Structure 1
């Protein structure tokens, strides 16, 4: 195949630096592990959505947020895993992005994954904020229209996520095609002779995308940590007040509220723990970029690290419904009722 103008020619000495065939570990991760996580994520989050829609008593403001979070998690795991699987199946070369079919396909894939990511990030924070008001300012919640407020907050979170994701579209604006000259007689002689990648028109755009992902993550991490501390302290004060009046075992309402608060704290903590490795890795590469492209890991080590941290982020998308059922008896009973097709 001849390479015409507009194509970057890669000599035999440099071809293995530009293109690498898929490794066995990458093949297993992409074709087995990630699809299994995606299926699990769709089933678990789909089951939670079904339960809330099936049982009227489960349609609470908190569950409005959690259902929206389940939808965002389904989008995130399906888009992320689907993107990786599409590129893997479309070419035997690791960095080849020909499977997108053009800049529009690359933009669409990035838009969906980034929108679901930001939406999930904002919803986790809104869930914590809603529980903060429910525990620390119950009268304020009672006087307001919690359901409508939740719908408005969810809509705003989605709109902000969409706007942020739209700013990422130029990162796929430039199509770069490499013409590869594989060494004669090597095992790669039958591999594709071209590799296509999509890049931003300016270098600063790559830095912007990393900053735009990491800054909201750490900002919401701090905000959620503050909410959790306030919630735990408020619950402690309530228990102490009940004990001082000899009412420590009276009333199922405070106990149920405490269980929900505990579930939300654990859910939020699990989310940030599973996602933190990916964002910390992004931050480290950003620091390396500002240091003049000085990195601790080489490209092969970085590739393995990204595979591991991405798996953790996808596990997060499938784990929330399991956390609900393990921690909170109310949710376990709701699953049983819905699956037995009985109305409450």
Structure 2
């Protein structure tokens, strides 16, 4: 039987750079640890299942329920699609790597093109989500804080342009970042003499930078836009919440003291608080889940620029698992946030999977208030 390409390379070990890991302590830092074993065998499959079901369910709800087809949900549907691609693709990549090799970050059976494609998809979904979340925040900001301007410029055409721009900007950033992973390097490893290391691969491969300066540029292109977007979003979230809290409930003079007006005021206030809660939770989850990974990027920049980072290899590996886990959880969280914080989305999900009428009724003033507050404007207006 013919040997695999990787096995065939073992006899040519002298052709590659040597990685001396004969010290058992140094060798253990290159291997999957107990935390990573738990992550790959338990956490990752659960995240993959929840992310698949949650994001597909939200997309189906938007497709099947007409009143879910709003400008805001056009952005959120693209976020769900990006999250779906990210969680399924990333989990598949991580699991295959874990199952194929005992060495952390070893990527056997790839090539330069394989490295580019593997990381390219992950970066595309990240930047698309970042852009889409920022654009939907801009929509909500103008709808709440500058409603007259919003009415003049909002509509399908602008929404489509912003959504296309979100993905195109992601592709542009990929072109800047992907050289960070475009190199495919092979190392010959000298493992410790203990018996447990005898079956370990003699050759390991990594996707790495083609030049140190490219590495720094790549990490900066990931980190800079994140912090800029975080500041912009936090500013607009603050303005939206402040405006919602300060805006008085609309009441006609003839019904100012009626029970109907009092009930409507309470309902409007409840909806405003619900919207504020939705905004706060969405923003907090996204930026907090991405924040640890951006800290790793800063560590990488310092390590490459001055040779000193604030994390050693073992700490870096543990921090990397935690940060990846948080990012993957974020890709599953949005549909749950919508359902738990908004009655409008709960009704939408319920209607989407009922066997009866698939159009969410908006006859009640409550439903109309929910749509007006949460979705800003119908996408077909």
Give the TM-score normalised by the residue count of structure 2. Answer: 0.82
Aligned CA distance change for structure 1 residues 233 and 11 (closer, same or farther; 3 Å):
closer
Aligned CA distance change for structure 1 residues 323 and 243 (closer, same or farther; 3 Å):
farther
Equivalent residue pairs, number: 342
The residue number in structure 2 matching 1:286 is 301
The residue number in structure 1 matching 2:236 is 227
Looking at structure 1, the residues matched to 183 and 18 of structure 2 have their Cα atoms a distance apart, in angstroms, of 17
Q: Which residue, out of 23, 30, 33, partners 2:33?
A: 23
The residue number in structure 2 matching 1:46 is 56
Moved more, 233-242 or 333-342: 233-242
Looking at structure 2, the residues matched to 243 and 209 of structure 1 have their Cα atoms a distance apart, in angstroms, of 57
User: How far 1:11 moved relative to its partner?
Assistant: 4.0
| Other structure's SS at 1:2 match | helix
The residue number in structure 2 matching 1:237 is 246
Moved more, 113-122 or 198-207: 198-207
In the alignment, structure 2 segments of 5+ residues that lack a partner are 1-9, 360-381
User: Which runs of structure 2 are paired with 1:51-66 in the superposition (5 Å)?
Assistant: 51-66=61-76
The residue number in structure 2 matching 1:264 is 279
User: How far 1:117 moved relative to its partner?
Assistant: 0.3
Looking at structure 2, the residues matched to 289 and 8 of structure 1 have their Cα atoms a distance apart, in angstroms, of 20
Looking at structure 2, the residues matched to 226 and 46 of structure 1 have their Cα atoms a distance apart, in angstroms, of 31
Kept in 2: contact 1:76–1:113 (CA 8 A): yes
Looking at structure 1, the residues matched to 251 and 137 of structure 2 have their Cα atoms a distance apart, in angstroms, of 24
The residue number in structure 2 matching 1:179 is 188
Q: Which residue, out of 197, 204, 207, partners 2:206?
A: 197
Kept in 2: contact 1:15–1:180 (CA 8 A): no
| Other structure's SS at 1:113 match | helix
Looking at structure 1, the residues matched to 262 and 244 of structure 2 have their Cα atoms a distance apart, in angstroms, of 12
Q: Which residue, out of 353, 359, 366, partners 1:339?
A: 353
Establish whether residue 36 from structure 1 lines up as the match of residue 50 from structure 2: no
Aligned CA distance change for structure 1 residues 46 and 110 (closer, same or farther; 3 Å):
same
User: How far 1:121 moved relative to its partner?
Assistant: 0.6
User: How far 1:9 moved relative to its partner?
Assistant: 2.4
The residue number in structure 1 matching 2:150 is 141
The residue number in structure 1 matching 2:131 is 122
- Measured against aligned partners, the alpha-carbon deviations of 1:172-197 in whole angstroms (never above 9, x if no partner) come to 33322111233334310121111111
* RMSD of Structure 2 on Structure 1 (CA): 2.5
Give the TM-score normalised by the residue count of structure 1. Answer: 0.90
